[in-house]
Amino acid sequence: MKRPIDLICSGLGLIVLSPVFGVLALWIKLDSSGPIFYRGVRVGRHGKAFRMFKFRSMVQNADIYSPEQKRVLSVRPGITDYASLRFQDEGKLLAGSSDPDKDYLEKIHPEKMRLSLEYVRKQSFWLDCEILARTLVAVVVGSRRRAPRINAESNVPTEIVPHHGN
């Protein structure tokens, strides 16, 4: 039941958002050289590889997983997750950083992985519905507060899922 609902919602979302995607594609093309889409291979549920496409925004060589992080690969990837909600605009978070790549790898990436592992532990149809609803609210209403900036001494606060240790 979950898979057909995922496919129907994803298809409808692509149709409804296609005008926005067209504007975004044009913006990316006018803003910088290179392809509009990042095409990559990801490892999904049970280690099965799949191709993914997303609007280009990633840094080179970003596809590295530790053994603990591979637990995230035990579930089928979704269109949104805790990390997407928490880190809606990484550019703003890293704006005050003297070394954005280092700060991303040391502060944002570990929190994203913690949130993803939290999802793996709690996954359910109703949790997916909750995350999707929160995402829709975030997109429609928008974030009304300013994202904190990262500096050398700060840690990324956790607002979506409380940290309870391992």
Would residue 131 count as lying in a domain? yes
pLDDT under 70: residue ranges of the chain: 57-64, 143-166
* pLDDT on residue 19: 94
Size of the chain, expressed as the number of residues it contains: 166
166 in any annotated domain? no
User: Is there a domain that residue 151 lies in?
Assistant: no
> What pLDDT does residue 58 have?
52
Looking at residue 64, its pLDDT comes to 63
**pLDDT for position 157:** 41
Q: Is residue 108 part of a domain?
A: yes
Residue 15's pLDDT is: 95
| 89 assigned to some structural domain | yes
User: Which residues are within 8 A (CB) of 79 and not within 5 positions of it... i.e. 6 or more apart?
Assistant: 6, 9, 10, 13, 132, 135
Tell me, yes or no, whether 12 lies in a domain. yes
In a domain, 157, yes or no: no
As beta bridge partners, residue 37 has: 55
- Count: domains in the chain: 1
Do the beta carbons of residue 99 and residue 109 sit within 8 Å? no
Q: Please give the structure tokens belonging to residue 53.
A: 């496409």
> Cα(143)–Cα(38) distance, rounded to whole angstroms?
26
What sections of the chain are H helices per DSSP?
Answer: 2-31, 82-86, 90-93, 100-103, 109-122, 125-141
50-64: pLDDT as tens digits = 888 888 765 444 556
Beta bridge partners, 1, equal: none
The residue range of the domain holding 119 is 2-141
Which pLDDT does position 72 carry in this prediction? 81
- Classify residue 80: in a domain, yes or no: yes
> What pLDDT does residue 63 have?
55
What pLDDT sits at residue 12?
A: 94
